[in-house]
Structure 1
């Protein structure tokens, strides 16, 4: 199996997992903030959806500079979040289909101005910077949702709410 085939399977499944969570949310939930130091639920959900975009927006570059290249998305409604996620999925599939196994082995640099945050093969950037990051924040989102007493859909198996 090519690297792309494995990545495409993962992208499809993780996008669907995020869709499941978004399907439970309503616009009135977006302003919920569990602690003064926390993001609002809407900010957190937007960050998660934005991380899905990183495959097409960041990994297609050899160097990605936060200061000059990063433009965070803004969602005001759950419908905005769903539309952004759908757009990112289509763009990610297109970007991945253009990559070769050799492209995944090329060194990718993430930096902020002159400060280099990390340099690693693109496949490592996909796993470490994008996927692990979005899965971590999606876990946070489920805690927010539980605090709001929203039913949690199963992500990697049935949830307590589905039993």
Structure 2
């Protein structure tokens, strides 16, 4: 593979983002899982679970050509974890499955279209590599950022993600 390989680029980016995500998840105070900074916000437990479940969504982009949100037989994430240990175990399981699916793919497969839809309504349709980056990685990074705000509001030291955090200086 050449250095402009979408697979190599995604793999390198995934390794960095998974390590950063794990550092944040390790700090989630599950005893405060019901905490919400605002009535419209997800709870801390829901948000942390969503960040982990998005890993399965990225795997889906690699494994299938489409996902219909109205399909009752489509793969669904497991039940909401009840502890940090369960959350981290699911993170490890889903991370391993994602890495395995990416390793089994090739650059040509990553150019195939992936369609995310609700019945006949297309939500997004783009090459798999772009779907993984935009709907997968970027989406996960967005929610991980929200999770770090929850940690800050709960006075939990925030880990550094792309350098030291204010708590690590």
TM-score class, shorter-chain normalisation, is over 0.9
Select the structure that is richer in helix.
1
Given that 2:56 and 2:77 are in contact with CA atoms closer than 8 Å, whether structure 1 keeps it comes out as no
Query: Which residue of structure 1 aligns with residue 20 of structure 2?
Result: 17
Say what the alpha-carbon RMSD is for the aligned residues. Answer: 1.3
User: How far apart, CA to CA, are the structure 1 residues paired with 2:91 and 2:82?
Assistant: 14
User: How far apart, CA to CA, are the structure 2 residues paired with 1:153 and 1:86?
Assistant: 19
Taking structure 2 as the reference length, the TM-score comes to: 0.91
Cα drift, residue 29 of structure 1: 2.2
User: How far apart, CA to CA, are the structure 2 residues paired with 1:53 and 1:85?
Assistant: 9
For the residue of structure 2 that corresponds to 1:76, the secondary structure is: coil
Taking structure 1 as the reference length, the TM-score comes to: 0.94
Cα drift, residue 26 of structure 1: 2.5
Structure 1 residues 60, 124: CA separation in 2 closer, same or farther (over 3 Å shift)? same
User: How far apart, CA to CA, are the structure 1 residues paired with 2:158 and 2:84?
Assistant: 16
Given that 1:15 and 1:52 are in contact with CA atoms closer than 8 Å, whether structure 2 keeps it comes out as no
Partner deviation per Cα, 1:58-93 (whole Å, 9 max, x = no partner) = 331011112222413322211111011101111011
Which of these residues, 63, 72, 82, is aligned with residue 77 of structure 2?
Answer: 72
Given that 2:62 and 2:105 are in contact with CA atoms closer than 8 Å, whether structure 1 keeps it comes out as no
Partner deviation per Cα, 1:111-131 (whole Å, 9 max, x = no partner) = 112211111111110111111
Q: Structure 1 regions of 5+ residues with no counterpart?
A: none
Q: Structure 2 regions of 5+ residues with no counterpart?
A: none
Given that 1:11 and 1:89 are in contact with CA atoms closer than 8 Å, whether structure 2 keeps it comes out as no
Following TM superposition, where does structure 1 have runs of at least 4 consecutive aligned residues deviating by more than 3 angstroms?
Answer: none
